[in-house]
Amino acid sequence: MSKRDYYEVLGVPRDASTDAVKKAYRKAALQFHPDRNPDNPEAEEKFKEATEAYSVLSNADNRRKYDQFGHAAFSSGGGAGFSDFSGFEDIFGDIFGAFFGTGGAARARSGRDLRYNLEITLEEAASGIEKNIVFSRATSCGDCGGNGAAKGTSPETCKQCNGAGQVRMQQGFFAVSRTCPVCSGRGQIVVKPCSSCSGSGRVSSETELSVKIPAGIDEGQRLKLRGEGEAAPGGGMAGDLYIVISIQPHKVFVRQDSEIICEVPITYSQAVLGGDTMVPTLDGEINMKIPPGTPTGKTFRLKGKGIVDMHSGRRGDQHVRTYIHVPTNLTDRQRELLEELSGIEGTPAANDSRTFFDKVKDLFD
């Protein structure tokens, strides 16, 4: 297939002004742009063709060569007329900038966000605490001030993208805008790299930070420390640091939001007669009264002994579930008393368990 004449492609006469060429291309580009014609190879082909024609005819030098030698003027390089598109980018940006929402300004890349997993105890979560954390992160190089250039030199503006960090139409025709491959989006080229950071502008350094953890924080919650992530390449915004909280399982307490739950053993005689028992709380041990006739599973509420709710500021309760501890190694005296008790106990009292036996009887009748 032979190449169509560039003037014919854009539908302009051979003596068309640069302005007319630009207008014609704009019309063709908007009509055949791949973004507006998804999965349409014919439009793709037309867009390619128009873009190529425009890239040549919009440049006075290239247009003169084309007028003189035709397509042969550009066939050797393989770049199909794209060997010189430094001015082309600007006009392309001008054409598409408003329409496709891609501005021409260099977008400063920001540093990566970091995540730090911090494990704390339930007591620390309940009271709040300040913790020192140590981690390594990329920070701005002190010797070059982060620009990556050796002492006494400074980075040069990237010629490929004119400092924009973005190029349009690098090889394929369909990348509307992409990161400049020459400067990796920085817009600048370090000619003589700083020896401390090898020109990256960043060095890895051990960082110690003091983190304030608010009382009431719960498993999986994150604290965001703005700007404490990695330094940006080329002096952009630093990333953020996320502290992700996990809470160690507690030996005694189970947490449920702002409530805590624990189980406390009582003796058989305490259960029957009542009495005092020591109960652990987040604030230390306290004495709790067991009323006479306390069965296994009876739960008592200790008001305000839970964990503070971060939103309301209200402190939750502690729930104490009792269970009767059954001893396995009795002293002789204990055994003697229990045997005596057993002898006079008889069957369980009517109001307790008779109903249970009644139910069992019903079951087999």
Sequence-separated (6 or more) residues with CB below 8 Å from residue 345: none
Stretch binding Zn ion (CB under 5 A), from 91-99, 104-112, 192-200, 221-229: 192-200
Provide, rounded to whole angstroms, the least separation between the CB of residue 161 and Zn ion: 3
Output 146 or 216, the one with its CB closest to Zn ion.
146
Provide, rounded to whole angstroms, the least separation between the CB of residue 182 and Zn ion: 5
Signed CA dihedral, 184, 187, 193, 197: sign only: negative
Q: Which amino acid is at 209?
A: L
Number of residues that bind Zn ion (CB under 5 A): 12
- Please tell me whether residue 194 binds Zn ion under the rule CB under 5 A: yes
Three-class secondary structure assignment of the chain: CCCCCHHHHHCCCCCCCHHHHHHHHHHHHHHHCCCCCCCCHHHHHHHHHHHHHHHHHCCHHHHHHHHHHHHHHHCCCCCCCCCCCHHHHHHHHHHHHHHHCCCCCCCCCCCCCEEEEEEECHHHHHHCEEEEEEEEEEEECCCCCCCCECCCCCCEECCCCCCCCEECCCCCCCCCCEECCCCCCCCEECCCECCCCCCCCEEEEEEEEEEEECCCCCCCCEEEECCCCCCCCCCCCCCCEEEEEEECCCCCCEEECCEEEEEEEECHHHHHHCEEEEEEECCEEEEEEECCCCCCCCEEEECCCCCECCCCCCECCEEEEEEECCCCCCCHHHHHHHHHHHHHHCCCCHHHHHHHHHHHHHHHC
CB 291 within 8 A of CB 267: no
Output 196 or 221, the one with its CB closest to Zn ion.
196
In angstroms, the CA 40 to CA 33 distance is: 10
Provide, rounded to whole angstroms, the least separation between the CB of residue 98 and Zn ion: 23
Query: What residues numbered 124-183 form the site for Zn ion, per CB under 5 A?
Result: 141, 143-144, 158, 160-161, 180, 182-183
Output 160 or 294, the one with its CB closest to Zn ion.
160
Output 37 or 162, the one with its CB closest to Zn ion.
162
Out of 37, 153, 179, 196, the only residue in the binding site for Zn ion (CB under 5 A) is 196
Provide, rounded to whole angstroms, the least separation between the CB of residue 248 and Zn ion: 41
Q: Which two tokens stand for residue 362?
A: 């019903």
Provide, rounded to whole angstroms, the least separation between the CB of residue 102 and Zn ion: 16
Provide, rounded to whole angstroms, the least separation between the CB of residue 263 and Zn ion: 59
Output 59 or 147, the one with its CB closest to Zn ion.
147
Provide, rounded to whole angstroms, the least separation between the CB of residue 135 and Zn ion: 21
Provide, rounded to whole angstroms, the least separation between the CB of residue 204 and Zn ion: 12
Output 147 or 258, the one with its CB closest to Zn ion.
147
Output 37 or 196, the one with its CB closest to Zn ion.
196
Output 49 or 89, the one with its CB closest to Zn ion.
89
Stretch binding Zn ion (CB under 5 A), from 49-57, 129-137, 196-204, 265-273: 196-204
Stretch binding Zn ion (CB under 5 A), from 189-197, 231-239, 244-252, 278-286: 189-197
Output 56 or 194, the one with its CB closest to Zn ion.
194
Provide, rounded to whole angstroms, the least separation between the CB of residue 107 and Zn ion: 12
Out of 197, 241, 271, 290, the only residue in the binding site for Zn ion (CB under 5 A) is 197
Stretch binding Zn ion (CB under 5 A), from 91-99, 190-198, 291-299, 348-356: 190-198
| Chain positions contacting Zn ion, by CB under 5 A | 141, 143-144, 158, 160-161, 180, 182-183, 194, 196-197
